[in-house]
């Protein structure tokens, strides 16, 4: 029986039928929102029968024969057209709003803020609503955002960080209104925007621009309000691969307490650079034994590897919490 599919799902099937190389070239011409929309359909596809695939390919051939216009549209125009044919009229505007291409309808106020110095931005944000401040922070480079956060009144920092971490998606309409308000003040021109903003990863990067004492204080305060969020941000602040960035003397100190079994499993999927980092900070005998263990280690469940890596990460965090080592770029200020 032939499967009935329409719109973006049909696009997903067609791209899959082309193979990875060709499909990648087509996806490269689309923006992030379009790729996410089609990718979601690809992930949800079940088995597609041969008749359905043949019908989709035939439609493509027929439309290309009728002229290049239908297939030479921008990816966004194609998807918008497909949605209009697929959804009820009252839903079209809402969905199109959620897949608007970066830059649609924005004038430039946010870009002007990006070009300002941190103290100027902080001074501006003092009088703004915390949610506005959170959105603005996501448009700034992490290092700049960290400086802005440091320059804000202490009683406002925690609220803004929490809002950044909770922020996942902002509608293009809301961004447009904010951008126009800022544009009236700064008279800027043009900014590329995306509706997906913020999140815990962004909050983590912003905190990374702070000095260690301020970062630690903010995370402690956040933990009192939302322990789960604080823990997620802490995990993002330091990953297993980040061991590469830690001073050799600190790595050597932590490795003295690392379990050999955990270390072997943790290195199973590690980069060559990280493996060398670990080997070089062990004694010759310990490094040789670890290499032998790693070479003889058979297929290992990913869950086991990830658990071992997290164990090592927690060990590094334990040393940091006791003030014995420094983690992160901001930690350089702690070494005296």
Domain that holds residue 270: 238-329
Residue 238 zone, left/alpha/beta (φ > 0; ψ -120 to 50; rest): beta
pLDDT number for residue 273: 92
According to DSSP, the residues that pair with 196 across neighbouring strands are 169
Q: What is the pLDDT, as a whole number, of residue 223?
A: 85
Domain count, the chain: 3
- Asked if residues 186 and 104 have their Cβ atoms less than 8 Å apart, the reply is no
pLDDT at 194: 36
Q: Which residues of 23-62 are buried (b: 16+ CB within 10 A; e: fewer)?
A: beeeeeebbebbeebbeebeeeeeebeeebbebbeeebee
Is the residue at 163 inside a domain? yes
Q: Please report the pLDDT score of residue 291 as a whole number.
A: 93
> Within this chain, do residues 215 and 247 fall inside the same structural domain, yes or no?
no
Domain annotation covers residue 224:
no
**103 φψ region: left (φ > 0), alpha (ψ -120 to 50), beta (else):** left
Same domain, 190 and 125: yes
**CB crowding 254-263: b at 16 or more within 10 Å, else e:** bbeebeeebb
User: Structure pTM?
Assistant: 0.41
Residues 122 and 104: their CA atoms lie apart, in Å, by: 27
Predicted pLDDT at 306: 86
Place of tokens 């480079």: 141
Backbone angles phi, psi at 218, to 5 degrees: -65, -40
Residues 114 and 196 reside in one and the same domain: yes
Polymer length of the chain: 336
| Co-location of 133 and 48 in the same domain | no
Mean pLDDT by 10 residues, the chain (336 residues): 64 74 70 69 66 73 53 46 53 50 50 74 82 86 86 89 83 76 58 47 73 77 85 80 90 93 92 93 94 89 88 90 73 45
Residue 205 CB neighbours (<10 A): 19
Do 255 and 298 share a structural domain?
yes
* 230 domain residue, yes or no: no
């Amino acid at each position: 029986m032939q499967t009935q599919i329409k719109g973006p799902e049909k696009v997903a099937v067609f791209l899959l039928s082309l193979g990875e190389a060709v499909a990648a070239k087509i996806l490269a011409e689309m923006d992030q929102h379009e790729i996410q929309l089609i990718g979601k359909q690809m992930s949800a596809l079940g088995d597609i029968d041969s008749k359905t695939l043949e019908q989709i390919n035939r439609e493509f051939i027929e439309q290309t024969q009728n002229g290049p216009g239908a297939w030479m549209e921008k990816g966004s125009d194609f998807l918008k057209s497909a949605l209009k044919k697929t959804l009820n009229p009252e839903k079209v505007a809402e969905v199109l709003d959620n897949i608007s291409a970066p830059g649609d309808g924005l004038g430039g106020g946010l870009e002007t803020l990006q070009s300002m110095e941190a103290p100027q931005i902080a001074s501006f944000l003092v009088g703004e609503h915390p949610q506005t401040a959170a959105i603005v922070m996501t448009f700034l480079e992490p290092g700049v955002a960290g400086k802005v956060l440091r320059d804000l009144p202490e009683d406002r920092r925690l609220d803004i960080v929490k809002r950044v971490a909770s922020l996942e998606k902002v509608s293009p309409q809301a961004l447009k209104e904010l951008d126009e308000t800022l544009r009236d003040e700064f008279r800027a021109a043009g900014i590329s925007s995306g509706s997906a903003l913020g999140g815990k990863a962004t909050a983590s990067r912003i905190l990374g621009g702070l000095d260690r004492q301020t970062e630690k204080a903010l995370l402690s305060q956040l933990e009192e309000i939302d322990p789960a969020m604080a823990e997620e941000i802490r995990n993002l602040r330091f990953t297993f691969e980040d061991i590469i960035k830690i001073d050799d003397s600190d790595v050597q100190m932590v490795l003295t307490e690392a379990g050999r079994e955990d270390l072997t499993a943790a290195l199973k999927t590690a980069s060559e650079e990280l493996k060398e980092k670990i080997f070089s900070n062990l004694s010759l005998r310990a490094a040789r034994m670890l290499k032998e263990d790693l070479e003889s280690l058979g297929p290992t469940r990913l869950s086991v590897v990830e658990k071992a890596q997290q164990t090592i990460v927690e060990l590094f965090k334990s040393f940091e919490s006791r003030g014995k080592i420094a983690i992160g770029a901001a930690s350089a200020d702690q070494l005296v």
